[in-house]
Every structure is written in C-alpha cells, then in structure tokens.
Amino acid sequence: MTTTAATLLDAERSDLLEMLAKHRFFLRFTTRELTDEQARTRTTASELTLGGLIKHVAAVEANWATFILDGPEAAPDFSAMTEEEIAAWGDAFVLRPDETLAGVLAEYERVAARTDELVRTLPDLNVTQPLPQAPWFEPGGRWSARRVFMHIMTETAQHSGHADIIRECLDGAKSMG
C-alpha cells in the first residue's frame, strides 16, 4: 500500500480528533451526577471549581479555534487590558448563579463540534497566524493550526487533572482507579 500525503493527513486528523475526544471525555466525566451547587464548590485552596473549569476550557477552545481562522484579533491585547476587562476575563473561571452545569456542558459540546469540524476540513494544518500580544507568548511568534490543536489538547488534559483533584476532594469520586 502506497502512503500518500493525503493518507498521512487523514491519519493525522484522525489522531487529533481521537486525542481531543479522549481528553474532553475525562474532563466532562469529572462532572458526572453533580448538582449545580456542587459544580460551583471550591474544594481546594485554588479558586477553581468543576463548573468554572468546564466554562473556562470551552471559552479558551473557542478562542483558539477563532484564532486559527482570524489570527490574533481573536484574543485581546492583554498588555492593554483595563482592570474591568481583566475581571471579566477572570469570570470565565466562575460558574455564576445564573449559569448551570448542564448549560456550560452544552456550550462545551457546541465548541468541541466546531473545533472538530475545523480539524476535519481545514485545508492546511501548516497555516500559521501571528500570536496575540501577551506576556506568555514569544514576541513575533507564530503558531500553525496543528500547534493550536495540540495546545487545545494539552490544555484540556491539564485541566482534566485539575478537575479530577477537585472532584476527589468534593466527594471522593475519581476518574480512574
């Protein structure tokens, strides 16, 4: 069987989709059978809650997917943010009283479907965009769509670990073991 560039690209897309699905599953799994109140409960010294993590990961994934298409305009210039804008950005980590766990999980599903569609249909995973202005990015740096998808995957996996600790402290439930 001859391996072509198209075959390799299809395999890469499949791998990206499979890994994104795996890490999203484990993050969502930490919220199984929880009430909205439990999803808002801090269980560690951190400000993080399970509902807030889901909300944050969905917002970040949505921003990165938009970045792939629109470039740095998808993210604010963090160095120019006002205190009010910083506070609003921090709200992405909080499941507010007018929000529900079911609602943020549904939004996360919508965001994931959009990202997955990009993985499947983006003509070139090598296309790059300049990174937005932020102290945590190298000045003048560029990321390919491939790197953005891997970053989404990494961030989701990292927050899955946070969520697992928060859930275990909440009621002893674990994702594994």
10 Å Cβ neighbour count for 74?
Answer: 16
**pLDDT 10s digits, 88-132:** 777 788 999 999 999 999 999 999 999 999 999 999 999 999 998
**What is the rounded CA–CA span in Å between residue 164 and residue 172?**
10
Q: What is the pTM of this model?
A: 0.91
Which residue is it, tokens 């629109």? 70
Percent of the chain with pLDDT over 70: 98
Q: Which of 53, 51, 24 is nearest to 38 (CA)?
A: 51
What is the number of other CB atoms lying within 10 angstroms of the CB of residue 117? Answer: 11
pLDDT over 80 (residue 6): no
Q: Give the pLDDT band (50/70/90) at residue 1.
A: low
All structural domains of the chain with their residue ranges: 8-171
Tell whether the model's pLDDT for residue 177 goes beyond 70.
no
Task: Express each pLDDT in 53-93 by its tens digit.
Answer: 999 999 999 999 999 999 988 777 777 778 887 777 777 88
- The answer on pLDDT for 18 being more than 70 is yes
The CATH class given to the 8-171 domain equals mainly alpha
Torsion of CA 81, 60, 51, 104, to 10 degrees: 110
List, in sequence order, the alpha helices (H) in the chain. Answer: 5-29, 36-39, 50-70, 83-90, 101-121, 145-171
- Amino acid making up residue 54: I
The whole-angstrom separation of Cα 152 and Cα 158 is: 10
- Give me the mean pLDDT over the 135-160 stretch: 95
pLDDT at 75: 76
